[in-house]
């Protein structure tokens, strides 16, 4: 499974927001995996619908759980205890129980790691600040685009946070498995390109 958390920004008028010009952030090619190449932060007054998500080859989304408030190691551990058995069961290889995730401190906290080990999970970690090596990031980007397209196509000009959260969850749960598979299958190419460029940014 490819595991990560994602916050989707809530807007009361998603149609107008989807039509608004998008901001661009530019990076030099040399800023690939080097320290400080990316920045994350929550916008002032921003409200997110937060989810912990896992995808698996040939199975699509096998975990999609919303959480509220700041994520903590204990919250991750509780989620693992409550939901990961079913997630592994629904994954492509339920016996191996392999998880690929980034270096998020909450996901890698002692209590969370112990919870994974207690259910027989095996963790594979990618280097810090290396979204090119995490295919679930591309999945999240596809979901964000789909949410924006639906807001325009279905003329969603008013939406409550609860309705938005449900729309996000349904969009992820129903996303085509074949498209998710294509994203995961790109991992071999990603690794080769990162090695070829000595860890610098690639097209993904």
Over residues 47-81, the pLDDT tens digits come to 999 999 999 999 999 999 999 999 999 999 999 99
> What does the alpha-carbon distance between residue 122 and residue 107 come to, in Å, rounded to a whole number?
13
> What does the alpha-carbon distance between residue 169 and residue 174 come to, in Å, rounded to a whole number?
9
Burial string for 112-138 (b: 16+ CB within 10 Å, else e) reads: bbebbeeeebebeebeebbbbbbbbbb
Residue owning tokens 């010009």: 21
pTM of this structure: 0.84
CATH architecture of 2-19+45-196: 2-Layer Sandwich (3.30)
Whether the CB-CB separation of 163 and 147 falls below 8 Å is answered with no
In this predicted model, what pLDDT tens digit does every residue of 107-140 receive, in sequence order?
999 999 999 999 999 999 887 767 678 889 999 9
């Amino acid at each position: 499974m490819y595991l990560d958390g994602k916050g989707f920004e809530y807007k009361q008028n998603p149609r107008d927001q989807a039509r608004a010009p998008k901001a661009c952030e530019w990076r030099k090619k040399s800023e690939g995996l080097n320290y400080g190449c990316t920045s994350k932060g929550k916008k002032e007054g921003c409200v997110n619908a937060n989810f912990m998500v896992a995808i698996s080859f040939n199975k699509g989304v096998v975990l999609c759980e919303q959480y509220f408030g700041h994520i903590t190691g204990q919250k991750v551990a509780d989620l693992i205890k409550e939901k990961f058995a079913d997630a592994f069961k629904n994954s492509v290889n339920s016996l191996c129980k392999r998880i690929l995730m980034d270096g998020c401190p909450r996901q890698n906290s002692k209590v969370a790691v112990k919870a994974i080990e207690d259910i027989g999970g095996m963790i594979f970690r990618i280097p810090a600040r290396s979204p090119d090596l995490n295919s679930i990031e591309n999945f999240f980007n596809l979901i964000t685009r789909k949410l924006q397209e639906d807001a325009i196509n279905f003329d969603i000009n008013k939406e409550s946070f609860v309705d938005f959260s449900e729309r996000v969850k349904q969009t992820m749960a129903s996303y085509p498995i074949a498209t998710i598979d294509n994203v995961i299958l790109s991992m071999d190419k990603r690794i080769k390109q990162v090695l070829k460029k000595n860890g610098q940014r690639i097209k993904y």
